Amino acid sequence: MTTNKPLQPVTKEDRIDFLDILRGIAILFIFAANIVFFSGYVFFPPEAHIPATILVTDNFVDFTNFTLIDGKFYSIFSLLFGIGCAIQFNKLNNHNKPFAPFFRHRMFWLLIIGLIHLCLFWLGDILTLYALLGFILIWFVNMSNKKLITWAIILILFPLVNWFVIHVANFNYPKYIFQLNIDYAKHFGFQMAEWQGKEFTDFQAYLKNDNLIEFFKMNVGNTFIRIGNILREGRIFKVLGVFLIGLWAGRKIINENLLNNTKFLKKVAIYGFSIGLPISIIRTYLEFFTNPESQILGFLNTLSYAFGTVPLAMGYASLLALLYRKNLKFLNWFAPVGKTALSNYIFQTFISITIFYGIGFGFVGKLGITVIMGISIAVFCFQVVLSTWWLKHFRFGPLEWIWRQLTYKKRIKLKK
C-alpha cells in the first residue's frame, strides 16, 4: 500500500540530538586520522620537517593517534550510516512508501558526490564506498535482529579470510588494480618511485605538484590505489558489517529506546574498552615497531584490527551516549557539525589541500605530528563556529541541501 503524500526531509523535531553530536565528534576524529595523509606526514622522512615544528610530544602523539583514533571513528560513522538507514526505513514504512526505490535513488546521488570527491580531489574518500554498500544494505533491511548481528560478526571477521586468499592461497587480486595505477601514471609520464624492487606512483611528487591540471589527472589515477587498498584490507566487509550493527541499533533506538538503556550502554562501553583498547595497542606496536614485510605479522595486524577497532569504536559510542545522559553542555558544541556532516567532511578536504598541497600553500611534509594535530583541532573549531552560524540562517548544510533536492526530486527551501 502506498500513499500520494509526498516525502519530506527529516524535520528538526524528528532529529535525535545525540546522533548529531556523535556524528560531529566522528567528523573531528576522522579529520585527525585523515590529516596525517593530507599533510604528507606518512610520505616524507623526519628530515623534511621544519625543525621548529619537531616537538618532544611527537612520538607520543603519533602512537596515541594511531591507537585511539585510526579506524575507530570511521567505524562510528559507519554505525551512524546504518542507524540512519533504519530511521529512514521506519519513516517510509510509516508513510506506506516503498523503501528500496527511495534508498537506491538516495545512494545514487551520494555515489555521484563521492566519485567527484574521490576521482578529482581525495583518494581517501569514504562516500563512494558507503554509497555502493548502501545498495547492498537494502537486502538486509527486512532481516531479523539475530541474523543482522550474525552477519555483522561474519563480515567484520571476513578480512581474515581475505588475508588468507591473498597471502596463503597466493591469489593477490588487488595487485591487478594497483597495476592499473602504475600503467596510468606511466602513460601520462608521472614521476615514479621504487621500493624493494617494486614500482609505484611517487606520492611525494604528487603532493608537491603545483599544476592544477596535473593534480586532477593524478587524482584520477589515484582512484585505482584507493580501490586496491580497500580490496587488500577487506574494508568492504568491515564497513558493511558495521552498517548492519547500525541497522540493528537503529531499530533498538526506535522501538526500545536504546539510548536510555544505561545498563546495556555501560556493558558495551566496558567490554568495548576492555577488549578493544589492549588489542589496539598491540596493533600499534605491530605497525610501528615490527617488520611490515613479515607475513605472520601482517596476519596479526589484520587480526588485531578485526578484534580491536570495532569493539573500541562501539565502546566510544556507548560511553558518549552515557556522557550525553549526564547533560554535559560541551557535547552540544559538536551538534552543528554533525547536522552538516557531509559539507564539513568535504570542506576538510579543500582546506587540507589549500594548506598542505603544492597547488596550495605547500606545507606538505614539513610539519611535525603535534603541530599537524593542532591544525586539525583549529580547523574543526572553525567548522563549529561556521556551522553554528550557518544553521542560524539555513535549514541544511549546502551539500546536504543539494543532496536532499536530488533525493526528493524537488526544490527544497534552504533559508529559514
How sure is the predictor about 12, in pLDDT bands with cuts at 50, 70 and 90? low
Lowest-confidence region among 10-14, 191-195, 349-353: 10-14
Residues paired with 394 in a beta bridge: 415
- For residue 403, is pLDDT > 50? yes
- Single-letter residue type at 377: I
Report how far residue 350's alpha carbon sits from residue 348's, in angstroms, rounded to the nearest whole number: 6
The DSSP result for 171-229, as a single string, is --THHHHHHHHHHHHHHTT--EEEETTEEEE-HHHHHH---HHHHHHHHHHHHHHHHHH
Write down the mean pLDDT value for the chain.
94
89-113, pLDDT tens digit by residue? 999 999 899 999 999 999 999 999 9
pLDDT at 200: 85
- For residue 350, is pLDDT > 90? yes
Q: Locate 146 and state its grid cell.
A: 539475530
- For residue 4, is pLDDT > 80? no
- For residue 327, is pLDDT > 70? yes
Q: Locate 352 and state its grid cell.
A: 587540507
How sure is the predictor about 129, in pLDDT bands with cuts at 50, 70 and 90? very high
Average pLDDT over residues 162-180: 95
- For residue 239, is pLDDT > 90? yes
Lowest-confidence region among 302-306, 309-313, 384-388: 302-306
Average pLDDT over residues 296-322: 93
Radius of gyration of the chain (CA): 22
Kindly state the DSSP code that residue 410 receives in the 8-state scheme.
Answer: S
Task: Look up cell 570527491; give the residue.
Answer: 117
Q: Locate 57 and state its grid cell.
A: 610530544
- For residue 9, is pLDDT > 80? no
How sure is the predictor about 1, in pLDDT bands with cuts at 50, 70 and 90? very low
Contacts of 136 (CB under 8 A, 6+ apart): 240
